[in-house]
Structure 1
Amino acid sequence: MDIRHLRHFLALVEEGSFTRAARREFIVQSGFSSSIRALENDLGVDLYVKGTRPPRLTAEGRALIPAAREALRSFHAVHDAVGQAGRRLTGWLTIGVFTHVEHLVPVAGVLSRMTALHPALELRMSQLPTEVMLQRLADGRLDCALLSAPEAAPRELEITHLATEPFVLAGSRGHPLHRSSSIGLADLANQRFVEMPRYWAVRTELDRLFREAGLRRERVCEVDDWGMALDLVAGGAGLAFLPRAVAEQGRDAGVWSVTLDDAVVERPVDFVLPRGEAATPAARRLRTELVAAVS
């Protein structure tokens, strides 16, 4: 049943004339009459007594009036709900995020404002490795994520760059390299390192740099927390590539940091969500707010 047929029927009821009803609905009279006939065929009844002027409703026609009005109200309610979905955010927003990003992108502040403006919006945040977040974005378990998007990210994902974080080489003051006036990648051959896990984006980038340079480094330990990595470096366990902001926190504990002369190590911070209609209104709104916050 076409909703337009019900609307035309109610126009006929309210106008009491095929001519006036057709004019009100901006349709030629022959088309209007065809619409009423199509509704009668769908219902299997006559809705008005043929040949009467003005049209006189049958018992079935009178019975249809309240139901037709309710159907139209429901139809408009559906359209209103869909039309406002992008403005009135409700339900869950599931977000993936990697660690130590707030100093670059004010995620907490933006999310706090969003929940204040949209009290029916509920947030679920998870700190996850990049590979895991990409998989969960692909299968729908995450609505969006803050991560370092790889060059070969799936095409069904839309990537918006937000910030770039430089990484520095960090070590304790007792390390021999502390006395060097400059440090290049070759100086790090066979050095002992505190490493991040293999599934972290920065670890992937470091492995690539060393592999392409034909160099190896010794892994002392793997940790998945920047604070613990900094403590291990301060204690002399080994060198580490740390976010500059993290390394600076270790100055009082005797940690020095430098950028390499011949290589750039950095971590992009990207906002990733499904492409097109697969993206939720809340995820799209979050992207807009984050872009504005870092601009």
Structure 2
Amino acid sequence: MDLHQLRHFVALAEHGNFTRAAEATFITQSAFSRSIQALEQNLGCLLVERSTGGRGFTLTAQGRELHRRARDIIVGVSNLRADLLGQAQANTPTLALGCGPLPAARLIPAALATFLDQHPDTRIDLRVETPDTLKEYLDSGEIELLIADLRHIETSKGYVTQALRPRRFQLFCRLRHPLLSSGATSFRALADYPMACSSLPAELRVLLTEQAGRATLPINLECKHTDMLVQMAVGSNLVGIAGEDVVAYLVAKGEVERLNFIDAPQGLLQGGTCFGVVYRADRALSSLARAMAMAIGEADELYVAAGDNAVRRFDLAV
């Protein structure tokens, strides 16, 4: 007896019609009829009595009994599958961590790639949220560690922090953007184009508003996913704002161009974000969490800032 045949029979009994039952189980009517006949042969009894002309049917006594018990069998098999899958997942090592939108763009994918090469059987529970939300997850025990800007995390002696390298912001645009045509771009020219970012500090928002000559907030869209930001920039005149390492990667791939300004404000040249790993001091990290923290540190070591100022000084937070 085949489980598919049982499902077909239950559909027939509940729809009361071969055509509708075949449609409900997504097979042809001829294949459906053969399935019911095969089930009758396997059980050695008639399950349905077809009326004259083949337009209708009634369930036999054996058919009624099978209908009563078949649904319990199908539900039981489904529950068994779910239980076994849940047991398998329960036995799978899991690492729960969180990060902000900016580290999610380059740093964390690189670190996770290294980590999973070394721990291929580990399931990753990664949450990309704002620093405040991540701290709530950390305090409640839903994640073991988080990676975000340290200046946006209100910590006390109850937390351990591991500072990473500071990163500044850069503006980028599509190839052959109008802003690239003159060669010497004025920062105020940004006022003529839409702008988008994955995450920005309040200080940089004020700076952009003042320097770009706009009376209102110059950011048209803020999203968590850098790939969405890049797709919009590549397909339009939108100017994107992202971390220096993200822009360097996209430039190297030939997808975008950096925007350099003849009158760029010092706050943009020197301001940036300082990522850090944070975890609770009163909870010992698991071996997987320690390995992930090490992988993050190794990935961070590969980051090279574009200039000395970006390494020595950062005034803006994300």
* TM-score scaled by length of structure 2: 0.49
Q: Provide the aligned C-alpha RMSD in A.
A: 3.6
One-letter amino acid of the structure 1 residue matched with residue 171 of structure 2 = L
Kindly state the Cα deviation for residue 122 of structure 1 after the two structures are TM-superposed. Answer: 5.2
1:192 counterpart (181, 191, 194) = 194
1:110 to 90, 115, 130: 115
CA–CA separation in structure 2 for the residues paired with 1:284 and 1:254: 35
State which structure, 1 or 2, has the greater radius of gyration over its C-alpha atoms. Answer: 1
Native 8 Å contact 2:114 2:295 kept in 1 = no
1:207 matched residue in structure 2: 205
Q: Which structure 2 segments of 5+ residues have no match?
A: 1-91, 302-318
With over 3 angstroms needed to count, the CA separation of the structure-2 counterparts of 1:168 and 1:250, relative to structure 1, is: same
Cα pair 1:96 1:142 within 8 Å, conserved: yes
Aligned residue identity for 1:225? H
- Is the counterpart of residue 291 in structure 1 residue 286 in structure 2? no
2:251 touches 2:258 (CA, 8 Å); kept in 1? Answer: no
Structure 1 distance, partners of 2:254, 2:140, is: 44
| 1:272 has 2:270 as partner | no
1-side partners of 2:155 and 2:260: how far apart?
A: 32
- 1:53-64 paired onto structure 2 within 5 Å: none
Q: What are the ranges of 5 or more consecutive residues in structure 1 without an aligned counterpart?
A: 1-89
Classify the secondary structure of the residue corresponding to 2:150: coil
Equivalent residue number for residue 41 of structure 1 = none
Q: Contact (CA 8 Å) 1:95, 1:125: kept in 2 or not? A: yes
Partners in 2 of 1:277 and 1:130 — Cα distance? 20
Query: Aligned partners of 1:223, 1:294: CA distance in 2, in Å?
Result: 23
Which residue of structure 1 lines up, in the alignment, with residue 250 of structure 2? 249
Cα distance change on mapping 1:152 and 1:95 into 2, 3 Å: closer
The residue that corresponds to 1:236 in the other structure is 236
Percent identical residues: 15
In the alignment, is residue 141 of structure 1 matched against residue 142 of structure 2?
A: yes
How far, CA to CA, are the matches of 1:177 and 1:292 in structure 2? Answer: 36
| Distance change in 2, residues 1:135/1:206 (3 Å) | farther
Deviations 1:46-81 (A, max 9, x none): xxxxxxxxxxxxxxxxxxxxxxxxxxxxxxxxxxxx
Opposite residue 207 of structure 2, the aligned amino acid is L
SS in structure 2 at match of 1:107: helix
Q: 1:168 to 1:269 in 2, by over 3 A?
A: same
Structure 1 residue aligned with 2:36: none
- 1:169 paired with 2:171, answer yes
Match of 2:105 in 1: 100
1:218 partner SS? coil
Letter in 2 for 1:230: V
Residues 286 and 152 of structure 1: CA distance in aligned 2, closer, same or farther (over 3 Å): closer
Distance 1:279 1:149 in 2: 20
Query: Which deviations, in whole Å up to 9, do the C-alpha atoms of 1:162-211 show, x marking residues without a partner?
Result: 23334311124333465252544x55457421233xxx4x3545325346
Per-residue CA deviation, residues 141-171 of structure 1 (Å, 9 max, x unaligned), is 1110122222552223322122333431112
Q: Tell me the SS of whatever aligns to 1:124.
A: strand
> d(CA) in 2 for partners of 1:169 and 1:239?
7
Q: How many residues align?
A: 196
Q: How far apart, in 2, do the equivalents of 1:251 and 1:112 lie?
A: 25
- Give, in angstroms, the shift of residue 273 of structure 1: 0.9
Can you list the C-alpha shifts for 1:200-226, whole angstroms capped at 9, x where unaligned? 4x3545325346869544343343322
- Normalized against structure 1, the TM-score is what? 0.52
Residues 179, 212 of structure 1: alpha-carbon distance in 2 compared, 3 angstrom cutoff: closer
* d(CA) in 1 for partners of 2:128, 2:226: 13
Give 3-state SS (helix, strand or coil) of 1:256's partner.
strand
Q: Report the CA distance between 1:291 and its aligned residue.
A: 3.1
User: Judging changes above 3 Å, is the alpha-carbon distance between structure 1 residues 225 and 164 closer, same or farther for their aligned structure 2 residues?
Assistant: same
CA 178–220 in structure 1, closer or farther in 2 if over 3 Å, else same: farther
Partner of 2:226: 226
Describe the shift of the 1:253–1:109 C-alpha distance in structure 2 as closer, same or farther (beyond 3 A).
closer
